[in-house]
């Protein structure tokens, strides 16, 4: 796995010459939830102060593979707060064993990784989504589901564009109303807990 370079953004003075490379520590991230088991997917771990330095050089964090509630070999440069964005997440609800495929899940709160986590090589991350919810798009004239329809939503500085499934539905692990939903003209929508 190719690790993403880490930059000490506290020392960035706005010129590329002052950026200092930092060798990342390699951590195991373990997700714990009473409600869900996170089976597989991709995760972006983005430092809360990640900004102009890497962007000006067109460097973006790499997706990290998630398997069985764990990410192995996550490059972390220093303690801090991080945004987690999951993609193509397969989650199993513990209460009934039902599997949900979630196209995109932005964890609403920032996640803290401490010096202690870095020293021991493992960070335990509690993750308790309030879902799942099924958002369904439909044509309001004949109430027909909009299957395989492009749908966009955003939160913070993250934008998502995904297609509905054959039922016109998208599964969210958190309340869809926490996002900015982009509805087009003549598009109806329902949101129900599942």
Predicted confidence (pLDDT) per residue in 32-51, tens digit:
999 999 999 999 998 887 66
The residue segments making up the domain with residue 160 are: 133-193
User: What percent of the chain shows pLDDT beyond 70?
Assistant: 82
Q: Kindly state whether residues 177 and 151 are assigned to the same domain.
A: yes
80 and 139 fall within a common domain: no
Judge if 66 and 100 occupy the same domain: yes
Higher-confidence residue of 165 and 8: namely: 165
Say what the pLDDT of residue 185 is.
82
43 with 101, same domain? yes
The answer to whether 83 and 156 are in contact (CB under 8 A) is yes
Asked if pLDDT for residue 79 goes beyond 80, the answer is yes
Asked if the model's pLDDT at residue 192 lies above 70, the reply is yes
The whole-angstrom distance between residue 46's C-alpha and the CA centroid of its chain comes to 9
81 in the same domain as 28 = yes
Q: Does 88 share its domain with 152?
A: no
Q: What is the pLDDT of residues 86-117, one digit of tens each?
A: 999 999 999 999 999 999 999 988 999 999 99
The reply to whether 165 and 122 lie within a common domain is no
Q: Nearest CA to 35 among 90, 87, 95?
A: 95
Residue 6 pLDDT > 90: no
The model's pTM is: 0.81
Please state, in angstroms and rounded to a whole number, the distance separating the CA atoms of residues 152 and 161: 4
Mark whether 110 and 148 lie in a shared domain.
no
Q: Is the pLDDT of residue 177 over 60?
A: yes
pLDDT of residue 137: 96
Residues 93 and 180 both lie in one domain: no
Q: Which two tokens stand for residue 97?
A: 């064993």
Distance CA 15, CA 35 (A): 46
- Same structural domain for residues 11 and 36? yes
In terms of domains, do 93 and 21 share one? yes
* Residue 175 is assigned to a structural domain of this protein: yes
Point out the domain boundary residue: 126, 161, 184. 126
Residues 45 and 66 in one domain: yes
> Has residue 177 been placed in a domain?
yes
The mean pLDDT value of the chain amounts to: 85
- pLDDT tier for residue 70 given thresholds of 50, 70 and 90: very high
- Buried b vs exposed e over 155-191: b needs ≥16 C-beta within 10 Å? beeeebebebbeebbbbbbbebeebeeeeeeeebeee
Task: Flag whether pLDDT at 29 surpasses 60.
Answer: yes
């Amino acid at each position: 796995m190719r690790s993403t370079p880490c930059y000490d953004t506290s020392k960035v003075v706005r010129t590329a010459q002052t950026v200092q490379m930092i060798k990342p520590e390699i951590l195991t991230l373990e997700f714990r939830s009473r409600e869900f088991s996170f089976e597989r997917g991709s995760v972006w771990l983005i430092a809360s102060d990640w900004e102009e330095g890497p962007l000006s050089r067109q460097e973006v964090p790499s997706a990290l593979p998630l398997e069985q509630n764990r990410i192995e070999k996550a490059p972390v440069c220093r303690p801090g707060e991080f945004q987690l964005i999951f993609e193509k997440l397969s989650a199993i609800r513990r209460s009934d064993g039902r599997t949900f495929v979630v196209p995109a899940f932005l964890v609403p709160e920032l996640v803290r990784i401490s010096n202690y986590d870095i020293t021991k090589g493992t960070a335990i991350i509690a993750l308790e989504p309030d879902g799942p919810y099924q958002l369904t798009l439909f044509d309001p004239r004949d109430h027909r589901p909009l299957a395989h329809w492009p749908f966009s939503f955003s939160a913070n500085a993250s934008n998502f564009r995904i297609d509905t499934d054959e039922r016109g539905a998208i599964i969210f692990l958190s309340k869809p109303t926490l996002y900015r939903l982009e509805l087009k003209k003549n598009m109806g929508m329902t949101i129900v807990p599942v």
